[in-house]
């Protein structure tokens, strides 16, 4: 039996205090893993439906095989795991700005880490996703300018609620055009958001991509005894 609450690791990072903790859910009896940055929850294994659907919805748009995929934001690994479960995925690059989160996966402190680090198709890359995009070199340090079939992003809380102000340019036409340039023709961009569908952002996406839509993902929220929703934005490159 694990303790009812345990702080697995604490780090001081350039973004603030980063904490990995595990607690026992009194309702289900299951262990819940949580990552906090200062006082904000970045990820909780209590809520994983939207992270899974983010990958599932993106890859459902892609008939070709084999698939080359990038995930921006590692977190607890649920999106990456779902990508690797797809039978046509040939390679996955997961980019995260926090080396500590990558280390937690490599050390097995996060349950998904064992599967991700053991899968030869998966590479965990330490880097600022947004800065790498601005650089013009792309996300693969070994292959500058490499293109992908899907780029799946779960980093900021939403296009309007950012972890850092410098991320804002990504959600503007120029940033989205940079991203489009790293997609193969017919490739898919998928973005997670904690906010409801945003008509203004959807319109901005439509200036760069085609087949733009926002999918609402609903899931049970036991803390509030009701359903909660997230949004997945989907868009294709011509």
pLDDT digits (tens, 9 = 90+) for 197-237: 999 999 999 999 999 999 999 998 877 778 999 999 999 99
Measured CA distances, 103 to 6, 15, 89, 97, 125 (Å): 18, 17, 24, 12, 11
DSSP state for residue 194 in the 8-state scheme: S
What 3-state class would DSSP assign to 8?
Answer: strand
Check if the beta carbon of residue 126 is closer than 8 Å to that of residue 45: no
Domains identified in the chain and CATH numbers: 46-237 (3.40.50.150)
What gap in Å lies between CA 48 and CA 187, rounded to an integer? Answer: 25
Closest-CA residue to 50 (of 88, 72, 82): 82
pLDDT of residue 3: 65
Tell whether pTM > 0.75: yes
- What are 111-160's pLDDT values in tens digits? 999 999 999 999 999 999 999 999 999 999 999 999 999 999 999 999 99
CA–CA–CA angle 125, 145, 205 (5° rounding): 90
Check if the beta carbon of residue 123 is closer than 8 Å to that of residue 93: yes
The residues, ordered by sequence, that sit 6+ positions from 203 with a Cβ below 8 Å of its Cβ are: none
Other beta carbons within 10 Å of 172: 14
């Amino acid at each position: 039996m694990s303790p009812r609450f345990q702080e697995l690791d604490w780090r001081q990072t350039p973004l603030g205090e980063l904490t990995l903790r595990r607690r026992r859910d009194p309702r289900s009896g299951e262990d819940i893993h949580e990552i906090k940055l200062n006082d904000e929850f970045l990820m909780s294994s209590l809520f994983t439906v939207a992270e899974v659907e983010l990958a599932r919805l993106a890859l459902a748009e892609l008939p070709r095989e084999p698939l080359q995929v990038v995930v921006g934001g590692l977190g607890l690994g649920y999106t990456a795991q779902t990508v690797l479960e797809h039978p046509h995925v040939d390679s996955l690059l997961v980019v995260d700005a926090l080396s500590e989160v990558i280390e937690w996966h490599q050390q097995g402190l996060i349950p998904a880490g064992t599967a991700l680090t053991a899968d030869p198709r998966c590479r965990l890359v330490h880097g600022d996703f947004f800065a790498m995009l601005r650089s013009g070199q792309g996300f693969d340090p070994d292959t500058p300018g490499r293109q992908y079939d899907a780029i799946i992003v779960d980093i900021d809380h939403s296009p309007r609620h950012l972890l850092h102000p410098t991320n804002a340019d990504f959600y503007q036409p120029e940033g989205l055009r940079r991203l489009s340039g790293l997609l193969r023709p017919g490739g898919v961009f998928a973005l997670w958001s904690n906010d409801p569908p945003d008509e203004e952002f959807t319109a901005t996406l439509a200036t760069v991509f085609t087949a733009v839509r926002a999918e609402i993902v609903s899931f049970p929220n036991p803390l509030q005894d009701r359903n909660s929703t997230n949004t997945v934005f989907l868009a294709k490159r011509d």
